Amino acid sequence: MSSAATPGPASVSGSLCLTLITLILPIPGISATVQVSTPPVVEAELEKPISIPCVPEISTPSRMRYIQWFVMEKNNRQRIYFQDGKSSTIDNDTDYTDRITVDKNYTLTIDHVKLGDERTFLCQVGAGPAGSGEATTELKVYDAPEMPEIFRTDTSISVMKKSPAEIATCRSRNGYPAPIITWYKDRTPLQAASKANDKMYIVPQTTQEPSGLYTISSTLYYLPEKKDKDSKFYCEVSYRMPQREDKMKESDRISVSITYPTENVEFLIQPSVLKETDTMMMECKSDGSSSVVYTFYRVLDGMNEEEVLDGTDNTMEINGVNRMDSGVYGCKVLDFDVPDEFYSNQTVKINYLDPIALIPEGPYNFTEGDRNVKVYCNAQGSQQTSVVWTKHKKTVVSSTNGLRLPVVTFDDSGNYSCNVTIPSVPHLTRQRVISIIVEGPPQVNCTEKTFHKNGPHVNLTCVFKGFPASEVTCNVKKAPIIRHHPQNNYIVVSELILPLTMKVLSVTCNGTNVHGSNAHSFTVHRELMGVPTTGHPTPDVSHSRSSGGVVIVVIIVCILLLAILGAVLYFLYKKGKIPCGRSGKQDISRPDAHDNIVVEVKNDQKVPEETVLLQGVNGEKKLASDQ
């Protein structure tokens, strides 16, 4: 007889049915039974504790007499525990003497489960006149295996082989029961057979260690293809743990050395754009992985012949190429796994740019005033050139091959650079510098400036342009200070500082070179600059003509502003906006009287400008009639 049972703390597997054994004792007038239930199967993890419940059911009230736990040794029972009333005994000299306990509910607990515990346990309950009953439980033991290890073959595998080759071996140790190994390629499981064939198979092996645990291994044999050169192989070990929990562990991923023959050859040249003096690098690439021999060659011009070049493995370089190195270059590959040779080549063009030619060649000496002067610059090259003329290395003066000066001036003197490039070829450029000299008689531009330093002085400065550089003299005893321009050798600056001790100062400075001369005369009037003609001027009286003119302009502007102000006040007065009597007097004792004061100036009175301005602005002076 069987019935459903509620498992205790132990893990239960298999059917939920519980084994029931019923013993009916024929007692006159009474039909009493004892039923015992235990889980059919209990799963335990190695070295962990496990509990097996035992639940008795007695049909009539009866006092319990005893309970016993047995283990099955083949077809024999071996008792490991006995309890009668309040006394209990763990049997000696058994595998469980030191590892079991039984609680008040008759549940058996086993500590440190071993592989030898995978056997049948029996619980028996006796109830006196009601008889006795018993039930059995199968204990299953599990242990997780170690991480799988993978060992790949040390030799390369050719895709030219006709049968599968050994790829790798996977091994996992100390599992229980024996786990299962599955092979993968790029996360795709390999459905490998265990028998040899012409595509793929595995050779499994299982070994039980002295401990009773299992070590399993699996060797994969596989016929690779070229597409497998980047594939990753690995293995997975799957196993079961208590509670019907399926788990797995993965090995490391490995690559397999696969050799395959050449199918295509690529010939590369660096840099992609070459010019004279460059180093040309050549490289030959084969898409195969088997052993090959590389040969570099050049096709001779006008001949269907090849000149073999010395290379190193699959590379070669030619230093300092020139235009004569242009031509067809290539490489060929000999693969011992296939009968054919493979070729690839390119046409190489070495770019060049010849030295610059100038028309006319020079020297470039011109006279100030010359017209329509032209200098042409050009260079022959392997491709279309670009020409730019610059002055002083930065100012672009022409973007064509012709430098044109419509009218030559001294400012056209200097160094000019002709730069010729091939735009499509980086760093291929030529440069040539010419010096243009403009000759002519001096041109003069002078300025005068007065100042006061321990008395009035005047600074007379002249700039002479001419080539050769002008020699400057002035008709005074003091020699001028001469400065030559740091960049333009045709410019000379003359500076002469003189005291103003005379009423009229007249000075003439003359610049002369081989082509002529030019002079400038200065006339400085002492009194026009506010400087007394006799005595010594005070330090705050020195004025130049330009500063006196500024004062006069300021006075005129002030007079105009005052006239406009008077017109506005008169207009307001006529409109009645200003409450003034005809006498023109106001009571200035009121706080706002100052804002409405009008200044009246008669024609026969001479009022200084400063007085009028102060009255108009401040409104604090009284009229003559009010004083």
Rounded-to-10 torsion of CA 387, 389, 395, 396: -50
d(CA 72, CA 89): 19
Q: Are residues 161 and 238 in the same domain?
A: yes
Q: Are residues 249 and 279 in the same domain?
A: no
Residue 6 has pLDDT above 70, yes or no: no
Kindly state the average pLDDT of the residues 524-536. 58
Q: If we measure between CA atoms, which residue out of 220, 276, 251 comes closest to residue 427?
A: 276
Q: Are residues 135 and 46 in the same domain?
A: yes
Tokens of 443: 């041109």
- In the chain, % helix, strand, coil (3-state, to 5) comes to 10, 50, 40
Q: Are the C-beta atoms of residues 167 and 221 closer than 8 Å to each other?
A: yes
Compute CA distances 206 → 168, 176, 426, 465, whole Å.
17, 12, 70, 109
Angle among Cα 243, 249, 254 to the nearest 5 degrees reads 170
Q: Are residues 586 and 529 in the same domain?
A: no
For residue 74, name the pLDDT band (cuts at 50, 70, 90).
Answer: confident
Residue 71 has pLDDT above 90, yes or no: yes
Kindly state the average pLDDT of the residues 290-306. 88
Kindly state the average pLDDT of the residues 286-303. 88
For residue 382, name the pLDDT band (cuts at 50, 70, 90).
Answer: very high
Kindly state the average pLDDT of the residues 108-137. 93
- What is the per-residue pLDDT for 89? 95
Give the residue from 201, 228, 259 where a domain finishes.
259
Kindly state the average pLDDT of the residues 135-142. 97
- What is the per-residue pLDDT for 31? 60
- What is the per-residue pLDDT for 234? 97
Kindly state the average pLDDT of the residues 382-393. 93
Q: Output the average pLDDT for the chain.
A: 83
Q: What does the DSSP 8-state code read for residue 159?
A: T
Q: Are residues 273 and 216 in the same domain?
A: no
- What is the per-residue pLDDT for 552? 74
Give burial (CB, 10 Å; 0-12/13-18/19+) of 339. exposed
Q: Are strands 188-189 and 180-185 parallel, antiparallel or unpaired?
A: antiparallel
Q: Scan for tokens 């229980």, then name that residue.
A: 176
Residue 367 has pLDDT above 80, yes or no: yes
Q: What does the DSSP 8-state code read for residue 224?
A: -
Q: Are the C-beta atoms of residues 140 and 41 closer than 8 Å to each other?
A: yes
Note the pLDDT tens digit of each residue in 188-207: 999 988 899 999 999 999 99
Residue 559 has pLDDT above 50, yes or no: yes
Q: Are residues 66 and 27 in the same domain?
A: yes
- What is the per-residue pLDDT for 318? 95
* 564 phi/psi in degrees, rounded to 5: -65, -40
Q: Are residues 16 and 82 in the same domain?
A: yes
- Name the domain count of the chain: 6
Q: If we measure between CA atoms, which residue out of 37, 20, 19, 35 comes closest to residue 130?
A: 35
Residue 477 or residue 63, greater confidence: 477
Report field, pTM of the whole predicted structure over 0.75: no
- What is the per-residue pLDDT for 75? 85
- What is the per-residue pLDDT for 336? 86
Q: What does the DSSP 8-state code read for residue 618?
A: H
Residue 340 has pLDDT above 90, yes or no: no
**CATH code at 384?**
2.60.40.10
Give the residue from 526, 542, 558 where a domain finishes.
542
Give the residue from 438, 470, 494 where a domain finishes.
438
Q: Are residues 449 and 531 in the same domain?
A: yes
Kindly state the average pLDDT of the residues 461-488. 92
For residue 302, name the pLDDT band (cuts at 50, 70, 90).
Answer: confident
Residue 612 or residue 512, greater confidence: 512
Tokens of 508: 């003439």
- How far, in whole angstroms, is CA 337 from its chain's centroid? 45
- What is the per-residue pLDDT for 73? 85
Residue 565 has pLDDT above 80, yes or no: yes
For residue 64, name the pLDDT band (cuts at 50, 70, 90).
Answer: low
d(CA 570, CA 582): 13
Residue 612 or residue 263, greater confidence: 263
- What is the per-residue pLDDT for 536? 37
For residue 307, name the pLDDT band (cuts at 50, 70, 90).
Answer: very high
- What is the per-residue pLDDT for 174? 96
Kindly state the average pLDDT of the residues 87-113. 95
Q: Are residues 189 and 246 in the same domain?
A: yes
Give the percent of the chain with pLDDT over 70. 82
Kindly state the average pLDDT of the residues 339-360. 94
The domain in which residue 378 lies consists of: 357-438
- What is the per-residue pLDDT for 7? 34
* Count of beta carbons in the 10 Å neighbourhood of residue 93: 5
Q: Are the C-beta atoms of residues 5 and 55 closer than 8 Å to each other?
A: yes
Q: Which of 18-22, 160-164, 300-304, 578-582 has the lowest mean pLDDT?
A: 18-22
- What is the per-residue pLDDT for 610? 30
Bridge partners (DSSP) listed for residue 171:
149, 217
Q: Which residues contact 577 (CB under 8 A, 6 or more apart)?
A: none
For residue 384, name the pLDDT band (cuts at 50, 70, 90).
Answer: very high
The end-to-end CA distance of the chain, in Å, is 149
Kindly state the average pLDDT of the residues 62-86. 88
For residue 550, name the pLDDT band (cuts at 50, 70, 90).
Answer: low
Kindly state the average pLDDT of the residues 182-191. 94
Q: Are residues 56 and 133 in the same domain?
A: yes
Residue 566 or residue 324, greater confidence: 324
- What is the per-residue pLDDT for 127? 86
Q: Are residues 407 and 445 in the same domain?
A: no
Note the pLDDT tens digit of each residue in 215-227: 999 999 999 999 9
Residue 627 has pLDDT above 50, yes or no: no
Residue 178 has pLDDT above 90, yes or no: yes
Note the pLDDT tens digit of each residue in 576-585: 666 554 434 3
Q: Are residues 129 and 56 in the same domain?
A: yes
